[in-house]
């Protein structure tokens, strides 16, 4: 009946193996090397992720002692090599046209020309690449992914320059958050994906006791991908926010189309090029990762999101398009992971370290001109003031002291720009420029005035220190709006109890990526923890040192929770990874 | 500032504890007893789930040797006590009206009157109950849930009668699938939820190396529920298909509204009553589980599904409403888990055990009159016939032999009804009655004729043996439709290769809950496994004994995959559990 079937099958399907472990077991050459080389780091990272203790594979200091003399210069040279040139994506399908309109928030035009993505050809190539990647199994995929991240790490300085000149981040931050810290978030996603898949045994022997002899079956389980994944990048953190979804999808077997923000293409273009290089070296089709560069005014993200081949979408950006994706792609049954925005909140009750608190708050507000999705916006203070070891600090005194603390960080232009970076777009600039109008509209007062900073190297950069507007707790109409940029609101409440109640209500309704509390009272801290659970947002307590509310650490801190409207997912929990693959089992009897 | 804050907080919030372990640690009385009592079974079940080996807590034989003399009679008496009476749900919010219109597929009117669900009051009560349940922590919730299932087990005979007379299942099946096997699926969901939550440590010490001293933080992690969960039951498997979602949601902290099918309320009403009884005994608000009984013509499931309080939906039933839920509730960002329907497929190539194969197939087609979501519908056979040890079995010979095997199981009415049960509704009866029309429309032929069976005890029951229609592979228009009921299609293909290709294409497009292959060729089996991976459906190979393709075993087999259109989820994988809760962290510095 089927004497010559094997040949036919092999011709038609390419391979007949269905075991999840076959590729790994039989892997030879580059793939076997990768699996062996990255076994240890995968084990270490999995242990850290499980215990949620400190772990970092990629050192985030830009010091030459870490990266070697000349690394920074070589990275800058590599970055400059991309400018005013065609970006090489090898044989990735494209329309033949070139696109690209990046302008640095610091001023210079980048002039990089990218091959325009060809949707139909790109999706077809992605699907065609999927089977071998699936059959490779979880561990081979994880090893390839770690190799990609290691190669990205080696290009951290090049990527840092690309991040700086697309996001407007200051250089050191662009290096740290855009390089090693993003790489650690990538590794976290890879490990989470590997652990999740390896929780499913490759095979099980099932013995059901019977009257005479047991019923015995062998069952094999294979993790299969959902389809093609789409990663939609953002302007401000092109790598940090794209890597978790990119690597979670890739490590679970899905080809990935990376659609960068049109103003922040280069960091992800370099990333995609590295992915393709490593995939090809390991014997896989580089079409597993493709860059979807688009021309001005195209709606490529929306077009791609609705294509039936796309099964998974990761998005970071504004709430309008994020909400559209959740509705439209969610209605089509796609797995949609979004990080949008919210009203990040700090409840200030009392402190035993006024200087530490002010310095910490000032840094959080200043860093990258408040353009982090985690920057505090709403600072609640009780009208009666803040308890300190030296007595009550009144609201006006607190505001003045906060302004002074910001001034200490930003008083000197050359130093200030190393924290502030540059404003990324006109929307952010309008927020800063509109402070007086906002204060008037809110019946409030500017209590910390923004200052124009002149960048010593980039005179065209628009740089502003953070401003703070005081307003009354009754003006929910103002403070439940997200004001993205260098602006925070000092909201005067009747009591800390009211502060906490407003914290819960506003975050439940409008979302938040971060929250913090300052108090010396255990009862207030306990109530704040309860409020954080109710609001569904992570809480930092009494930060007065070198940890800031806007920072989350891979392997230990969840970034976002998925429990409030700011984001429907967290980096990285099981819910971020498990829905990206399915398990297909085969079962058969074997002798007892 | 906050000297009297603690009192206020306690007044306002009821409790200030935020530790996930507090309730467990300090649990006294009934809750502590439950946690201790069920620790061992939770450990055993977790081990089985992880290894996916055989495990069953609840013996599924209805024998008095297992359940004690008189258990069956007592269960029947308890069942009869519900008939023509008001069902007691204690103080569950209701409108004051009574609803209920259940009629047994075997004939009798049940006459049970249920308090009509009050949507607003019920949702408010559910939300109010949520906090204490959340604060109890994962292990206390799991212990309470196991206690519920143990109590359900003790009422297995009562529930079996309720399942029989709502679904039309034969009694033994109603006992097994509606009782112990459903209970094991419940336990599986509870354990999966517990394991998933306990993967998150309650606390972690995070030490980041610093220049002088490390930065040290303590971080606490709490699993928080998503909101209120809605479980929408089905007519044919009211408990088996409802328990996984019910217990997965409850064990992860979410209150659950159980909306039964209007024709199959009683099994879930008993279930809800048991849930409420155990919850109250353990010190929790019984509003955590409520029955949403509705009057004729209400659209309660749809109304509830769109309510903002509902965050999670589990559904089993027809594709039309399932698709609506996926679209409409999916667009609202709710977690939607559906099991709908598909075209379950068997590819028959060759066998070394003709009698075993035929007996197995006949049983799969006959059981519950083909009214299982897992019953095979599409049987692909090559036109050249099926290879056997005695030579080729032609398609007509195979069809005849299959008819004979069905006849052996169903030839005698009294024995037949113990397998067939009763047809559940007019739709199913129409499928059986429309066989000749279908054959004519398909240019096919009835190769196994259905037989009218008279139920010796219930003359009003409509009972039919399965029919089989032969048609050509070209008639995709016919065999890509789901024909729910005692009807299967024998699809004649050019070759097994074509059978497998059609298997992949039809399942990818139309879905399947189950698939099987018969072949003596390793190459064909390998190709079938590959096809199953491509189609995204589990595969049973060469079943010739006492395991049937329509059966899946808790802890080992996934029911559904989520990888094809028949269902977007599987019982039970991490993707079924992890999205039902979120993690909220709090962090603070501690001395190094």
Determine whether the interchain pair B196/A574 forms a contact, defined as Cβ–Cβ distance below 8 Å: yes
Burial profile B35-50: b = 16 or more Cβ within 10 angstroms, e = fewer: beebeebbeebbebbb
| DSSP-derived 3-state class of residue A455 | coil
Give yes or no for residue B244 having a pLDDT over 90.
yes
User: How many domains are contained in chain A?
Assistant: 2
Determine whether the interchain pair B208/A17 forms a contact, defined as Cβ–Cβ distance below 8 Å: no
**Among candidates A194, A434, A185, A196, which has minimal Cα distance to A316?**
A185
**Among candidates B215, B223, B67, which has minimal Cα distance to B137?**
B223
Does residue B548 lie in a domain region?
Answer: no
pLDDT in tens, B462-499: 999 999 999 999 999 999 999 899 999 999 999 999 99
The count of other CB atoms within 10 Å of the CB of residue A454 is 12
The count of other CB atoms within 10 Å of the CB of residue A532 is 32
Report the greatest alpha carbon distance in chain B: 93
The count of other CB atoms within 10 Å of the CB of residue B412 is 12
- With a CB cutoff of 8 Å and minimum separation 6, the contacts of B401 are B354, B358, B393
Residues B362 and B333 in one domain: no
Question: For every residue of B540-555, which 3-state class applies, written as one string?
Answer: EECCCCCCCCCCCCCC
Return d(Cα B546, Cα B539) in angstroms, integer.
16
Residues in chain B within 8 Å Cβ distance of A204: 51-53, 556
Count of H-run helices and E-run strands, chain B: 24, 21
Residues in chain B within 8 Å Cβ distance of A573: 200, 578, 582-583
Which pair of tokens denotes residue A349?
Answer: 């009750």
Residues A50 and A129 in one domain: yes
Beta pairing, strands B335-339 & B310-316: parallel
Return d(Cα A421, Cα A417) in angstroms, integer.
5
Residues A426 and A290 in one domain: no
Return d(Cα B237, Cα B227) in angstroms, integer.
26
Chosen for mutation from A537, A573, A581 (greatest number of chain B CBs closer than 10 Å) is A573
| ipTM score | 0.94
Residues in chain B within 8 Å Cβ distance of A15: 530
Does residue B564 lie in a domain region?
Answer: no
Chosen for mutation from A19, A226, A395, A533 (greatest number of chain B CBs closer than 10 Å) is A533
Return left, alpha or beta for A369; rule: phi > 0 is left, psi -120 to 50 is alpha, else beta: left
Return d(Cα A294, Cα A230) in angstroms, integer.
14
| pLDDT tens, residue order, chain A (592 aa) | 333 333 333 333 333 333 334 444 445 688 999 999 999 999 999 999 999 999 999 999 999 999 999 999 999 999 999 999 999 999 999 999 999 999 999 999 999 999 999 999 999 999 999 999 999 999 999 999 999 999 999 999 999 999 999 999 999 999 999 999 999 999 999 999 999 999 999 999 999 998 888 999 999 999 999 999 999 999 999 999 999 999 999 999 999 999 999 999 999 999 999 999 999 999 999 999 999 998 778 899 999 999 999 999 999 999 999 999 999 999 999 999 999 999 999 999 999 999 999 999 999 999 999 999 999 999 999 999 999 999 999 999 999 999 999 999 999 999 999 999 999 999 899 988 899 999 999 999 999 999 999 999 999 999 999 999 999 999 999 999 998 999 999 999 999 999 999 999 999 999 999 999 999 999 999 999 999 999 999 999 999 999 999 999 999 999 999 999 999 999 999 999 999 999 999 999 998 7
Rounded mean pLDDT of chain B? 94
B109 interfaces chain A, CB cutoff of 8 Å: no
Amino acid B2: pLDDT:
34
Return d(Cα A82, Cα A584) in angstroms, integer.
44
Residues B218 and B284 in one domain: yes
Residues B294 and B411 in one domain: no
Residues in chain A within 8 Å Cβ distance of B546: 210, 215
List the beta bridge partners of residue A471: A491
| CATH number for B495 | 3.40.309.10
Model pTM greater than 0.90?
yes
Stated as kind and residue range, the H or E segment containing B415 is: helix B413-420
Return d(Cα A516, Cα A532) in angstroms, integer.
9
User: Would you give the distance in Å from CA B551 to the centre of its chain?
Assistant: 12
| CATH number for A94 | 3.40.605.10
Return left, alpha or beta for A500; rule: phi > 0 is left, psi -120 to 50 is alpha, else beta: alpha
E strand segments, B226-377: 228-232, 256-259, 289-291, 310-316, 335-339, 345-348
Residues A355 and A230 in one domain: no
Whole-angstrom Cα Rg for chain B: 26
Amino acid A27: pLDDT:
52
* Cβ neighbourhood burial of A371 (10 Å; 0-12, 13-18, 19+): buried
**Among candidates A131, A253, A136, which has minimal Cα distance to A196?**
A253
Does residue B537 lie in a domain region?
Answer: yes
Which pair of tokens denotes residue B227?
Answer: 């909101």
A350 interfaces chain B, CB cutoff of 8 Å: yes
Does residue A558 lie in a domain region?
Answer: no
* Cβ neighbourhood burial of B319 (10 Å; 0-12, 13-18, 19+): middle
Does residue B557 lie in a domain region?
Answer: no
B197 interfaces chain A, CB cutoff of 8 Å: no
Summarize the confidence of residues B367-379 as an average pLDDT. Answer: 96
> Looking at CA atoms only, how far is residue B137 from chain A in angstroms?
13
List, as ranges, residues 373-412 from A with C-beta within 8 Å of B: 382, 384-387, 392
> Looking at CA atoms only, how far is residue B466 from chain A in angstroms?
26
Summarize the confidence of residues B286-312 as an average pLDDT. Answer: 94
Return d(Cα B221, Cα B261) in angstroms, integer.
38
Residues A288 and A393 in one domain: no
Does residue A367 lie in a domain region?
Answer: yes
Does residue A290 lie in a domain region?
Answer: yes
- With a CB cutoff of 8 Å and minimum separation 6, the contacts of A356 are A544, A545
| DSSP-derived 3-state class of residue B221 | strand
Amino acid A335: pLDDT:
97
Residues in chain A within 8 Å Cβ distance of B13: 527, 530
Whole-angstrom Cα Rg for chain A: 26
Give first-to-last CA distance, chain B, whole Å. Answer: 29
Stated as kind and residue range, the H or E segment containing B223 is: strand B215-225
Determine whether the interchain pair B53/A204 forms a contact, defined as Cβ–Cβ distance below 8 Å: yes
Residues A260 and A390 in one domain: no
Residues in chain B within 8 Å Cβ distance of A588: 540-542
Facing residue for A497 by CB, picked from B12, B350, B524:
B12
Residues B306 and B449 in one domain: no
Return d(Cα B237, Cα B246) in angstroms, integer.
14
Amino acid A23: pLDDT:
44
Does residue A12 lie in a domain region?
Answer: no
Amino acid B28: pLDDT:
62
Please provide the size of chain B in residues: 592
Give first-to-last CA distance, chain A, whole Å. Answer: 29
Which structural domain range is residue A447 located in? 345-541
Residues A319 and A355 in one domain: no
List, as ranges, residues 137-196 from A with C-beta within 8 Å of B: 196
| DSSP-derived 3-state class of residue A214 | coil
List the beta bridge partners of residue B348: B518
Which pair of tokens denotes residue B298?
Answer: 């209400």
The count of other CB atoms within 10 Å of the CB of residue B420 is 30
Residues A81 and A206 in one domain: yes
Please, where are the H alpha helices in B137-257? 138-154, 156-167, 171-178, 180-198, 243-251
**Among candidates A461, A460, A438, which has minimal Cα distance to A449?**
A438
Q: What are phi and psi of A85, to 5 degrees?
A: -145, 165
Residues A305 and A420 in one domain: no
Q: What are phi and psi of B539, to 5 degrees?
A: -125, 130
Beta pairing, strands B335-339 & B256-259: unpaired
Which pair of tokens denotes residue B442?
Answer: 């398909």
Helices A522-535 + A496-510 axis angle, to 10: 20
> Looking at CA atoms only, how far is residue B516 from chain A in angstroms?
9
List, as ranges, residues 289-318 from A with C-beta within 8 Å of B: none
């Amino acid at each position: 009946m089927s004497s010559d079937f094997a040949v036919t099958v092999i011709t038609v399907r390419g391979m007949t193996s269905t075991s999840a472990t076959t590729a790994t077991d039989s892997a030879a050459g580059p793939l076997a090397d990768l699996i062996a080389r990255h076994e240890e780091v995968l084990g270490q990272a999995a242990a850290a992720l499980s215990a949620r203790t400190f772990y970092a594979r990629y050192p985030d200091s830009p010091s030459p002692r870490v990266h070697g003399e000349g690394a920074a210069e070589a990275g800058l040279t590599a970055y400059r090599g991309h400018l005013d040139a065609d970006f090489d994506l090898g044989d990735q399908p494209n329309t033949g046209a070139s696109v690209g309109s990046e302008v640095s928030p610091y001023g210079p035009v980048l002039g990089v020309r990218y091959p325009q993505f060809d949707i139909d050809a790109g999706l077809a190539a992605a699907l065609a690449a999927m089977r071998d990647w699936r059959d490779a199994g979880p561990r081979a995929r994880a090893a390839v992914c770690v190799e990609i991240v290691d190669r990205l790490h080696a290009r951290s300085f090049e990527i840092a320059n690309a991040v700086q000149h697309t996001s407007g981040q200051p250089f050191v931050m662009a290096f740290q958050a855009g390089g090693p810290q993003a790489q650690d978030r990538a590794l976290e996603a890879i490990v989470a994906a590997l652990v999740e898949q390896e929780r499913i045994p490759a095979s099980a022997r099932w013995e059901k006791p019977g009257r005479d002899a047991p019923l015995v079956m062998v069952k094999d389980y294979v993790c299969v991908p959902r389809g093609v994944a789409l990663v939609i990048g953002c302007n401000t953190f092109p790598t940090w926010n794209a890597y978790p979804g990119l690597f979670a999808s890739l490590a679970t077997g899905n080809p990935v189309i990376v659609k960068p923000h049109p103003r922040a293409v280069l960091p992800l273009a370099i990333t995609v090029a590295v992915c393709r290089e490593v995939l090809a070296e390991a014997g896989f089709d580089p079409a597993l990762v493709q860059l979807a560069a688009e021309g001005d005014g195209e709606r490529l993200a929306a077009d791609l999101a609705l294509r039936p081949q796309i099964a998974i979408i990761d998005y970071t950006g504004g709430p309008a398009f994020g909400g559209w994706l959740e509705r439209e792609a969610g209605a089509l049954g796609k797995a949609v992971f979004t990080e949008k925005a919210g009203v990040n909140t700090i409840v200030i009750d009392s402190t035993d370290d006024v200087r530490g608190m002010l310095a910490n708050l000032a840094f959080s507000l200043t860093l990258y001109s408040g353009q982090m999705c985690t920057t505090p916006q709403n600072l609640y203070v009780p009208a009666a003031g803040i308890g300190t070891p030296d007595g009550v600090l009144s609201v006006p005194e607190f505001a003045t002291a906060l302004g002074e603390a910001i001034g200490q960080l930003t008083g000197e232009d050359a130093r200030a720009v190393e924290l502030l970076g540059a404003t990324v777009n006109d929307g952010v600039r309008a927020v800063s420029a509109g402070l007086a109008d906002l204060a008037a509209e809110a019946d409030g007062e500017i209590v910390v005035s923004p200052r124009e900073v002149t960048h010593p190297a980039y005179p065209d950069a628009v740089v502003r220190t953070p401003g703070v507007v005081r307003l009354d707790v009754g003006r929910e109409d103002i403070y439940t709006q997200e004001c993205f940029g260098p602006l925070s609101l000092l909201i005067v409440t009747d009591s800390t109890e009211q502060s906490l109640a407003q914290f819960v209500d506003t975050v439940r309704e409008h979302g938040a990526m971060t929250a913090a509390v300052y108090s010396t009272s255990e009862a207030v801290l306990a109530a704040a923890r309860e409020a954080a659970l109710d609001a569904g947002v992570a809480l930092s307590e009494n930060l007065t040192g070198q940890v800031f509310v806007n920072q989350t650490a891979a392997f230990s801190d969840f970034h976002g929770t998925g429990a409030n409207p700011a984001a429907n997912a967290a980096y990285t929990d099981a819910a971020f990874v498990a829905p990206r693959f399915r398990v297909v089992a085969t079962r058969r009897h074997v002798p007892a």
